[in-house]
Structure 1
């Protein structure tokens, strides 16, 4: 039976440590770190995520400069807001909550964020720094995966890691981080021929493809480490909704050596790495030793 990779417990501990760090730094700097989360429209899932991020900011002492815009907000208006936040000395991190309404160009808006305030680590400059192995802001979810593995002393060095999913949010940056940690990395996706056979070769199997219970026991090498980044809301026969991952947890649990639950695995780590990025940017901008 697998052991649990408890992201929720680790996130709680890391946020407590960040809270103590922020108290000390704010006294030296004369202000706390600041994060601006921009949300457009009334997507209920996005609203819940934003509330969670703002609550976490409050918990660790980060000032929140969040802005909520109506669905019909124009590209030009949002561009102007981002440029204003780039110039605001109180703000160390800026995040645009995705997805955006269809009429908006998310990539163009993300590219407007000053790279050193890019709290989500998605600006081309920060992705380039990742490719080159240079210090910089890292994409939050992949960074959360790597921090969780490190805390449990699960070293990717020499291991074969298979990442199912190739998004710029998770799959691609995570593959680069695993390479940086000396894993041998395969990226698989929805068009991969015989996905089950590829998945079975993994010592570390990470799935971030957004398909409920896609990964079944026949796709998992016995003793593999299974990291489930997927979050999918399904409706049960009773009519109640339930959050599940991309992995069939109950079925895979007896096969793996380590596994993340959903919820309570990578989700809390994503928020924690967002806070970490904001504090890191704050320290860099104000030349503070963390």
Structure 2
């Protein structure tokens, strides 16, 4: 395993391509105030995504066994309802600040707080807002998603087998890009994926109904219990198989330390890294 990792990092086992499209999300004049950057049509998406996240947390912290945590979740839901109800009368900026209040309240949950010690409500909302911007299909807005996929696909050679490791928003991008890709994909690994985090994401995917890309031979999905952004086991249930019968196989991992949503936290687990190495062996 050590030799394989060395070969991968030094470039002789396989060519490694990292698709960086973060600059495409930059907005002119942005000053780091997420609420101030929001468009009016982004608020409903973010509210729906936060609603799905609260549902996940409610399953994780049931009132019967975690009464204090359940009260925190109830408080966050109350704030979310207030943000949605007051959106039109109070304006986008105020609605955005209320949504930041929701994510800040969510960070009061013990496991979430420990897993995201350096995060705050602003940064969490900013990260999940990018998912909505990518999935926006309106005229001109859809150009962002097209540009992101073009950058991803532009660095690939369909004549060679491709092993894909995608993370967070990257799993949404990879889902759509792989449906356009013509080459063989022996293994596709998704970590920290919001693909099945409520209908607000699932129903915006293209193509629909959601299914495994046809050229993927194996799809492995990993989620962490303390990862705010994932849809947990639902991904394997809500996204259908490809025409050849391939569908996601989901497995839970448990990370320690700060902010479990990072790709490096997931790749520290042998169960995640091992399939990559196996797929690359000569």
TM-score normalised by length of structure 1: 0.30
More helix by share: 2
Q: Between Structure 1 and Structure 2, which shows a larger proportion of strand residues?
A: 1
Asked which structure has the greater RCO (Cα within 8 Å, sep 6+), the reply is 1
